[in-house]
Amino acid sequence: MAIADHLEELKKTAKQMVVPGKGILAADESSGTIEKKFAKIGVASTEDNRRSYRGLFFTTPGFEEFISGVILFDETLRQSAADGRTFVSILQGVGVLPGIKVDQGTKEMDGSPNEKVTKGLEGLPERLKEYVELGAKFAKWRAVITIGDVLPTDANIRQNAKDLAAYAALCQEAGLVPIVEPEVLMDGGHGIEACADASERTLRAVFEELKKAGVAPEGMILKTNMVIPGKESGTKAAPETIAELTTTLFERVLPDELPGQAFLSGGQSEVEATENLNAMNKKGQFPWKLSFSYGRALQDSALKTWGGKPENIPAAQKAFYHRAKMNSLATLGKYTSEIEKA
């Protein structure tokens, strides 16, 4: 079907995903990534352990006050909890939208081996059709941009922008809201200016290609990085600086029709990710909502608390509930360090 046939529903879903006070939980780690996460706490990545871990988030009492949607991995979208209910029905039961990661990871770019392009366009229309039947309301595709001496190259930015746009158009044709995720990585010793520059080049190319592909900006969500110094730069920027550089960039590049931008956490600590989002929303209102779509910054404490032990599930749920609530407050600019500790 044409994008126009789905537009009203796409707009409604996109708005719901970034409604003030709520954001998205990214729980779509691929098999390799979840294995690494579990290895850090000494837990084997078996199907049962993945079921227990994912299930603890989806059955946290009251989490739906703060979480509008969850991004799932293919296995989880098809999986059931120990009591036999499908995870999709559990989420639907509390009004949380199920979403699905549809990219298939990254590979080296031809001609620029230190840069990455994303796999997964082949056969995508058929997969999207099945995901709609399984109950997905939105999708996600992640592209990564690397900062280095002479990186990112224009060729890499352009290829990733074109692939994101092709994916987003296919999603809207299938009736799924695309989360368009260009992530400028925090890895490296670069300063905040290099991140600002790479982010601006990337976002400009992404919105050019989205337009060319006929993607309706009002029926999508952007998920990009904050403008922030590299992890190995030895410097930290104040939340107010990050907020200023990030929101002024967005004001130059994002179309007003976009319902929202939901940040990735990208390696920031849980509290940093909350403080930085809060600083942006304290600046006032923008044409688009500024929300979160955090993976690590919503899961880290819960993961450590769980440690693979069923008896720790209630405590892990408490940790997740707290993080979700803190980020909910940050979408409203109402987070404080006092509330964090209370």
Crossing angle of helices 313-331 and 47-58, rounded to 10°: 50
CB of 223 to ligand 13P, least distance (A): 7
Closer CB to ligand 13P, residue 105 or residue 310? 105
State the alpha helices, DSSP H only, in 85-153: 87-93, 124-133
* Contact predicate 66/17, CB 8 Å: no
Closer CB to ligand 13P, residue 6 or residue 142? 142
Both structure tokens of 165: 């746009």
CB of 186 to ligand 13P, least distance (A): 9
Closer CB to ligand 13P, residue 26 or residue 43? 26
CB of 181 to ligand 13P, least distance (A): 6
Provide the greatest CA pair distance for the chain.
53
CB of 187 to ligand 13P, least distance (A): 12
Q: What is the residue type of 228?
A: I
For 71-93, b where at least 16 C-beta lie within 10 A, e where not — what string?
bbbbebbebebeeeebbbebbee
CB of 277 to ligand 13P, least distance (A): 11
Residue of 29, 115, 173, 181 marked catalytic: 181
* Contact predicate 294/264, CB 8 Å: yes
DSSP state of 330: H
CB of 140 to ligand 13P, least distance (A): 7
Known catalytic membership, residue 181: yes
Distance of alpha carbon 87 from alpha carbon 324, whole angstroms: 19
The 3-state DSSP class for residue 18 equals coil
Q: What is the residue type of 215?
A: V
Residue of 116, 223, 289, 325 marked catalytic: 223
Closer CB to ligand 13P, residue 7 or residue 41? 41
CB of 25 to ligand 13P, least distance (A): 9
Distance of alpha carbon 98 from alpha carbon 86, whole angstroms: 12
H helix or E strand, kind and range, residue 116: strand 112-118
How far from each other are the two terminal CA atoms of the chain, in whole angstroms?
Answer: 50
Closer CB to ligand 13P, residue 263 or residue 335? 263
Which residue sits closest to ligand 13P, CB atoms considered? 295
Closer CB to ligand 13P, residue 296 or residue 325? 296
Determine the Cα angle at 253 with ends 250 and 255, to 5°: 95
User: Where does this chain bind ligand 13P (CB under 6 A)?
Assistant: 26, 142, 181, 264-266, 294-297
H helix or E strand, kind and range, residue 242: helix 239-253
C-alpha pair distances (Å), 219 with each of 8, 100, 163, 180, 245: 8, 16, 18, 11, 26
Closer CB to ligand 13P, residue 9 or residue 75? 75
Task: Return the active site residues.
Answer: 181, 223
